Amino acid sequence: MNIQEAKEEIKRTVEAYTARTAAGAFRIPVKRQRPILLIGPPGIGKTAIMEQIARECGLGLVSYTMTHHTRQSAIGLPVLEEREFEGETYTVTAYTMSEIIASVYEQMESSGIGEGILFLDEINCVSETLMPAMLQFLQYKTFGSHRLPEGWVIVAAGNPFVYNRSVREFDTVTLDRVKRMDVEPDLEVWKRYAIREGLHPAVLSFLELRPEYFYVMEAGRKGFVTGRGWEDLSEMLLTLEELRLPVEEILFGQYLQEKETARAFAFYYRLYEKWSRQLRPEGILQGKYGGKRQKEYQDLPKLPFDERLCIVWLLMRRLSRMAEDLEDQGSLAESLEFFTEGLKRNGETGGETLVRACFEALDRRRKGIQVRRDCGLLESGAEEREKRFFEAAFDCVEQVKRGQDIRIFESRVKREKAKAGERRKELAAALGNVIGFVRGAFGEGQELVILLTDLLEHPGTERVMREELSEEYAKAEAFLNTDSREEALRRRVLEEKTV
């Protein structure tokens, strides 16, 4: 299965394991709740999906990489205790609580969330002395004499032997007590995730062109490339470009640790840099691609396919940024409106009582954010959105201190909603302009297929197209659903690569 299928299966399993009867008992008894064992190559997103599952299901999450643990830290340290048996006092050995079990209880206490996921990564790479304790934990959910709290699901992950020669095979007795899932790399699934996360367009377009370089890890081949490597390289490229720092050749091999892949991507990135300087996408987004530049745009179909793909993804990057800005603005307006409605429900209208109520509510929100952060439930970009919300809220509070009342909050909500509406219109217009440009410049070929596919994969651009450009949206769906279009696209891509 691919990582998305594994994620959905784990979510279903967690939901089934935590489901209770009307009397409060677990529908599946704890002893029948098999730990989930996720086996797959490194860097395909096993850890990332655990964070997503916890966020989406509202569960706690405690993660450990087991290669860092000794037997003592996992099961606890021995201590001597005096106990009485049949009237006689004896000195016996007991154990302190396992660091792992203690972390679960600590998170339950700090978050107030009673159910969650204990994620144990690289479980089949533990030391020889720890392996018996790990097998016992998988079978009985106990470390020493300390049991994992009810409502917590064990998910363990490991790499197959072919990727890591230090792994230890589980015996049949253990495997018969776990729910095993084998996961393989899948570019299409990873690409959908990458589009949503806003990975660098050079990475996305390169892998569209050369999918064989997505995951390189073969026996006898020096070096390797993983999805994690592409994601981390993307983050570095985006940051260097934002800071206007040079991207040196040596950078690519630091993340893509296979020479052929690093060399191929380095060449492609220089093409991307060239078109990022020459294209001037702002005019295209605004529908201004005629006049003096008309001849230059007419020459675009004559370019090699990899350069045409650069152009499409440069435009896609600008559209996705606009969609993210719209989402941030909409989130700010919604948060302020929810905050204002809460104040009004409590009857706060102005003066010192309103100021005091604001500070109390903001303090509760800040503590809630900290809990979500500690539990790994804070979504990507949430920190920056919360910062903007607090700045806007404190600005309103300062105006209340100077004599304003609750209406200052209501006025701010209207302004932020109006800004969101403006950005929505700008994005809708830009979407229509870019689609029209690509169709006009390249016709209804693979460039348009790639653009429309990725616009419909990105939740922000898809939503605006569906709601604001209903005709264009319907045309896009019909165009992409044409029989054998995808197969024709693949053939043309292979032809271009051969040339």
Whether the CB-CB separation of 453 and 191 falls below 8 Å is answered with: no
pLDDT digits (tens, 9 = 90+) for 282-337: 888 888 765 555 566 677 778 888 888 888 888 988 898 899 899 999 999 999 99
What CA–CA distance (Å, rounded) separates 349 from 296?
60
In 3D, which of 423, 392, 422, 389 has the Cα closest to residue 408?
392
Choose from 51-60, 260-269, 435-444 the range with maximum mean pLDDT.
Answer: 260-269
Lowest mean pLDDT among 191-195, 217-221, 474-478: 217-221
Q: What is the mean pLDDT of residues 54-77?
A: 77
Overall size of the chain counted in residues: 499
CA distance 162 to 39: 12
Structure tokens at 71: 């037997």
Q: Is the pLDDT of residue 389 over 70?
A: yes
**How far apart are alpha carbons 258 and 268 in whole angstroms?**
16
Q: What average pLDDT does this structure show over 379-397?
A: 87
d(CA 106, CA 196): 33
Place 165 in a pLDDT band, splitting at 50, 70 and 90.
low
Q: Which residue has the tokens 């299965």?
A: 1
Whether residue 117 contacts residue 14, with contact meaning beta carbons closer than 8 Å, is answered with yes
Least-confidence region, from 116-120, 129-133, 212-216, 341-345: 129-133
- In this prediction, residues 479-483 reach a mean pLDDT of 70
pLDDT of residue 266: 93
Residue 352 burial (CB count, 10 A): 9
Tokens 């043309």, located at residue: 492
Distance CA 374, CA 86 (A): 47
The DSSP output letter for 296 is H
pLDDT > 70: percent of the chain:
89
pLDDT band of 221, cuts 50, 70, 90: low
Report the pLDDT averaged over residues 364-390: 80
pLDDT digits (tens, 9 = 90+) for 106-152: 888 877 788 888 888 887 777 777 777 777 788 778 877 778 888 89
Q: Of the candidates 427, 428, 452, 425, which has an alpha carbon nearest to the alpha carbon of residue 438?
A: 452
Confidence of residue 489 (pLDDT cuts 50, 70, 90): low
Q: Which CATH class is domain 3-69+101-184?
A: alpha beta
In the predicted model, what is the mean pLDDT of residues 331-345? Answer: 90
**What is the reported pLDDT for 293?**
52
Mean pLDDT of 331-350: 87
CB 251 within 8 A of CB 77: no
Which pLDDT score is estimated for 483? 46
Query: Over 90: is that where the pLDDT of 414 sits?
Result: yes
Residue 233 pLDDT grade (very low, low, confident, very high; cuts 50, 70, 90):
very high
Helix then strand count (H, E) for the chain reads 21, 9
Answer positive or negative: Cα dihedral of 117, 7, 12, 168: negative
Quick check: 390 and 398 in contact, CB under 8 A? no
Per-residue pLDDT for 27 more than 80?
A: yes
- pLDDT of the residue at 70: 67
> Can you tell me the distance from the alpha carbon of 192 to that of 380, in angstroms, rounded to the nearest whole number?
16
Contact 90, 144 (CB under 8 A): no
| Mean pLDDT of the residues in the chain | 83
Rounded Cα distance between 377 and 456, Å, is 26
Give every CB contact of residue 147 below 8 A, 6+ residues apart in sequence: 101, 141
% of the chain at pLDDT higher than 90: 22
